[in-house]
Amino acid sequence: MAWLLARICFPKKVPRGKFSSCQTRAWSRGTVTAYMPEATAFPGSRDHQGLYQVSVEQTDAFWGVLGRSRLTWINPFHTVSYSDLQQGHVSWFLGGQLNVAVNCLDRHVHKAPEKVALVWEKDEPGQEDRITYRELLEMTCRLGNTMRRQGVKKGDRVTIYMPSCPMAVASMLACARIGAIHTVVFAGFSSAALADRIQDAQSETVITVNQGLRGGKVVPLKETVDQAVKLCPTVKRVFVSKRTDEKVPLSDLDIPLEEEMMKEDVACEPVAMESEDFLFLLYTSGSTGKPKGLVHSQAGYLLYAALTHKYVFDYHDGDVFGCVADIGWITGHSYVVYGPLCNGGTTILFESTPVYPNPGRYWETVERLKINQLYAAPTAIRLLLRYGDDWVKKYDRSSLKVLGSVGEPINTEAWEWYFNVVGDGRCPVIDTWWQTETGGICIAPRPSNPGEEILPSMAMRPFFGIRPSLLDGKGAVLTQNDVSGALCISQIWPGMARTIYNDHQRFLETYLTPYPGHFFTGDGAYRTSKGYYQLTGRLDDVINISGHRLGTAEIEEVVNKHGAVAESAVIGCPHEIKGEGAYVFIVLKKCSNLSQESLTSELQGLVSNEIAKYAAPEYIQVARRLPKTRSGKIMRRVLKKIIENKADELGDLTTLDDHEAVKEIIEGHKQLLQKKQVQQA
């Protein structure tokens, strides 16, 4: 574990400024039960803190009560939780049967069929579509029936490659209704990345659209699927929905979705699913080249998404919830689809970009749709900040109550701009920390508890049922405050991923064996003197570009495919807007005489085509040799220091095999930066 300690470098800094909604006040018994009606089951809990204590000390009692009251069951559960962390077996709500689509749709249709479930903010500016709970249920049922008729069965994997649109949400829910396992692949991924994910999941079914629209541009999604499917012999059918009026050529595998759906009934019998049946797989990057399909199961995931949505954002009935994440990421799953719909809320489906048709897009949408909670990524906030305050101030943002941030650390400047300019100093800004693995938000300030202080750029407090710990390089739990360590979660919670699809061993090795008895998040954190958590970045070889995780090994694998490249090392470098970018060091094969310009554009093109556009490297530096230990391992920390311009802090170099190579790389880096500056000027 010593390697971990060596890599933890934590800023022990509490940022400037602070938001406090009002003075902390004592809660009455009435307040606590209005806040959480289930509190009557825990007479000792007087306020949020009291409820938190119950949630971590009487875990089964807490989640048992919540599981019964917040979810609708076909058959009740008999055991709240079971865990064997050594084997990586975690189960919640055993013996219970339910259907997630019924929880997200039918039960709300019974109460308020005409309530708006989805507001689809289309790519085309100013054009929204409102879909009621009744309409969404009908769509879901027709789609479920269509899939069933075409042979999709319980337990089958269905790959969804679609932009954020109602048909994509209906596809997810239709899978849940018939017991199929969906795996949404972000529609910005290349055909190669899509094919990898289809193959890993062994999907027989793909759902896509003829074309996507993004920032006013047509994206040929069906074409990408065609290329991917050629590499995937398991695929038996591709449902093609119509997002645009353009006709695209259909092959033998293709089934026009809307045409088939119109032939089907608007009722579709939901399957009774066991709590621990798989609900979905979602691929995310790790520190090896192969993305991992994290598995979430039914009841625990749904309950956790719904509860965090309600309490982290202080969501109330009638609010319009605006999470602008794409449905291809976990944020889209938990806070566009499952959390809000389980709570019977109205949720925005944002299909466009923050700058289309201009940098006022978010704020115009807030005004027109009267959004109450906005949940966005720091990379978008930083980008919009650059365009100045006028784009924001032009629009009425008085509907806003809470502003959320997710995906990466939000720097103080962006936090303060979000708070002061976007929220006019009225709305709490909440920096929410979580991961694909955690299913829902784990650490976040809590505006639902009035009076609690919120400090800039800090995720601060654990959610109900979350017991965070910081561990040192030797694996010991650090008990005091004002310390930094590896962030772990030290008891199970309902939203946690259950395994990696077809690779339980990797699940154990990545999350459970590094610190036995704890779930290791891969992130480092600092606990302030007041006990608040501040995230300090990844401890593994994962970089975070615009809030999207990428393993450096994934990029290296693609770069190494280039005919001229003998060897490469990819390191994350700071980027003003994206947070991090990829900096690629390469050693060329002897015979190569490519110019730096052609090499750069070829490698950027290769990474865009093989992974996704956002992964394209910022810098490509050619080196004669990479710094290695005598045993041949690339010394990444040395490269990291060089690109952070800290060449005088390279640390212990006793194992370095070629000191000359490092000097050359330092020089090469300086030249590359100068060249880039000249180009930008």
Report how far residue 337's alpha carbon sits from residue 166's, in angstroms, rounded to the nearest whole number: 10
- Smallest gap from Cβ 589 to ligand WTA, in A, equals 35
**273 vs 459 by CB, closer to ligand WTA:** 459
Q: Are 411 and 310 in contact (CB under 8 A)?
A: no
Report how far residue 302's alpha carbon sits from residue 457's, in angstroms, rounded to the nearest whole number: 28
The DSSP 8-state label assigned to residue 75 in this structure reads B
Q: Are 298 and 273 in contact (CB under 8 A)?
A: yes
**226 vs 431 by CB, closer to ligand WTA:** 431
**152 vs 539 by CB, closer to ligand WTA:** 539
What is the identity of the amino acid at 74? I
Report how far residue 563's alpha carbon sits from residue 561's, in angstroms, rounded to the nearest whole number: 6
Half-sphere exposure of 323 (CA within 13 A, CB side): 29
What is the identity of the amino acid at 674? Q
- Smallest gap from Cβ 260 to ligand WTA, in A, equals 34
Report how far residue 238's alpha carbon sits from residue 556's, in angstroms, rounded to the nearest whole number: 32
3-state secondary structure string, 106-156? HHHHHHCCCCEEEEEECCCCCCEEEEEHHHHHHHHHHHHHHHHHCCCCCCC
**523 vs 610 by CB, closer to ligand WTA:** 523
**156 vs 452 by CB, closer to ligand WTA:** 452
- Smallest gap from Cβ 671 to ligand WTA, in A, equals 32
Give the residue closest to ligand WTA by C-beta: 436
- Smallest gap from Cβ 433 to ligand WTA, in A, equals 4
**323 vs 661 by CB, closer to ligand WTA:** 323
**270 vs 407 by CB, closer to ligand WTA:** 407
**166 vs 286 by CB, closer to ligand WTA:** 286
**144 vs 579 by CB, closer to ligand WTA:** 579
- Smallest gap from Cβ 226 to ligand WTA, in A, equals 28
- Smallest gap from Cβ 580 to ligand WTA, in A, equals 10
- Smallest gap from Cβ 170 to ligand WTA, in A, equals 24
Report how far residue 505's alpha carbon sits from residue 502's, in angstroms, rounded to the nearest whole number: 9
- Smallest gap from Cβ 352 to ligand WTA, in A, equals 20
Report how far residue 239's alpha carbon sits from residue 148's, in angstroms, rounded to the nearest whole number: 12
Residues of the shown chain interacting with ligand WTA in the complex, contacts defined by CB under 6 A: 284, 329-331, 406-409, 431-436, 459, 521-523, 535, 538, 544, 549
Joined together, the tokens standing for residue 135 give 């309409």
Q: Are strands 237-241 and 212-214 parallel, antiparallel or unpaired?
A: unpaired
Q: Are 610 and 192 in contact (CB under 8 A)?
A: yes
- Smallest gap from Cβ 520 to ligand WTA, in A, equals 11
Report how far residue 71's alpha carbon sits from residue 392's, in angstroms, rounded to the nearest whole number: 39
Q: Are 670 and 643 in contact (CB under 8 A)?
A: no
Joined together, the tokens standing for residue 495 give 């939203």
